[in-house]
Amino acid sequence: MADRPNVVIVGAGFGGLSAAKSLASSPVEITVIDRRNYHLFQPLLYQVATAALSPADIAWPIRSILSSQKNARVLMGEVSGIDLAARQVLLGKRKIGFDYLILATGAREHYFGHDTWAAHAPGLKTLADATSIRRQILTAFEHAEAEEDASERARLLTFAVIGGGPTGVELAGAIAELAKKALARDFHAIDPTAARVVLIEAGPRLLPAFPATLSDYTERVLRRLGVEIKMDSAVTACTKRGVDLGEDTLSAATVLWGAGVAGSAAGAWAGAATDKAGRIEVGPDLTLPGQPNIFAVGDTAFAKGPDGSPLPGIAPVAKQQGKYVARAIRARVAGKSAPKPFRYKNAGLLATIGRRAAVIDFGFVRLKGWSAWWIWGIAHIFFLIGLRNRVLVMVQWLWNYLTFQRGARLITGTGDD
């Protein structure tokens, strides 16, 4: 098989896996490289962070996903760079040669130049982030229960979420439900239902990518859940004490960052031009400028829709791009003409707020409330990989729904647990 072209895919997220699977029956040899041994279903990560699901419910071993795909091998390791001239990916001491390279390395938090904020306002991108946020939230209640000073207790029971996009809305709603329902009866010295959950948005409305009617609805539902919303509030600092909003300081022991994401280091590896957020500016065929054999997909790429606006950083975009790149490589290998420029087929925007409340914008139709929540739930179950995880997530959602409890309320990762 030495004469079959080598396709190297860096990153086994939605984009990378979709490309790998789409090349299953193509005459290429695929190497999938990831620093982790699992594919993560990021849309449900906030449910791990808020104790509703376990990490293994939303993660699958990459090897296991690709085990029956004969032309794919998996390497676990951290890519440190690319040798463009030699066409090699640098993986520790190893060098992995490629004929085609797909960069699908995802995104990380973007603190708009304030990287010191990261220590006080963690974001939610990885399983480690999720279990660490879960620990932080649950520990805040435990510390509050033991605290005798009233103002410190209030600080411990204040949870600030920065960013009114889907991540911020989902986190704020889920923390409010955790405090006001699941934990309500479990403490003696404190009243968890009195916890403050504050959602901070720099702009004039929540979910700015959605139509205004859905933003209004989201705001109403969150307020009904007891979430305080601070609109038009620009964060000027995240510190050990809490969040500074210009003159004001919100005293909060837990501050979570859902305000911005940036591309990964892939742009620097490839010496490619990136936008402010570090995403690689790809051409209409998703290749890097001047590098016709190197593609970028998903959050790694800065791609535009037909109207010139940037595509959202969501799973359907990454998946469609992965498929498109596979098609492009297949055409190239077969000596056929390249496919037409990539065009995103709108799969809708979804965000869940809480129990029986979600919003969906399909473009041609907009849904909110109970119906949107059902569609959101069914879609997410459908897109999970494998029967096992579908059943596990359904069982836990049913239990959460019926009992108002959260089943994964474990404080782990303290080093001695």
Residue numbers at the binding site for a second copy (CB under 8 A): 35-38, 54-57, 59, 61, 63-64, 67-68, 73-77, 92, 94, 126-128, 131, 138, 142, 145-146, 183, 185-188, 387-389, 391-392, 395-396, 399, 403, 405, 407-413, 415-417
Helix ranges, 23-66 (H):
45-49, 62-66
Which residue's structure tokens are 């066409």? 87
CB 5 within 8 A of CB 309: no
CB of 155 to a second copy, least distance (A): 18
Give the CA angle between residues 59, 39, 95 to the nearest 5°. Answer: 145
| Tokens found for residue 380 | 């997410």
Q: Which is nearer to a second copy, 126 or 293 (CB)?
A: 126
Q: Which is nearer to a second copy, 143 or 205 (CB)?
A: 143
CB 271 within 8 A of CB 251: no
Looking at the DSSP bridge assignments, the partners of residue 177 are none
Q: Which is nearer to a second copy, 77 or 348 (CB)?
A: 77
* 78 belongs to the catalytic site: no
CB of 414 to a second copy, least distance (A): 8
CB of 70 to a second copy, least distance (A): 10
Cβ neighbour number for residue 135 with a 10 Å cutoff: 17
Cβ neighbour number for residue 317 with a 10 Å cutoff: 24
Q: Which is nearer to a second copy, 335 or 415 (CB)?
A: 415
| Tokens found for residue 377 | 């739930």
CB of 185 to a second copy, least distance (A): 5
CB of 267 to a second copy, least distance (A): 19
Q: Which is nearer to a second copy, 338 or 395 (CB)?
A: 395
Cβ neighbour number for residue 144 with a 10 Å cutoff: 23
Catalytic site residue from 145, 148, 152, 170? 170
- In angstroms, the CA 272 to CA 289 distance is 7
Give the side-chain half-sphere CA count within 13 A for 70: 4
| Residues with catalytic roles | 170
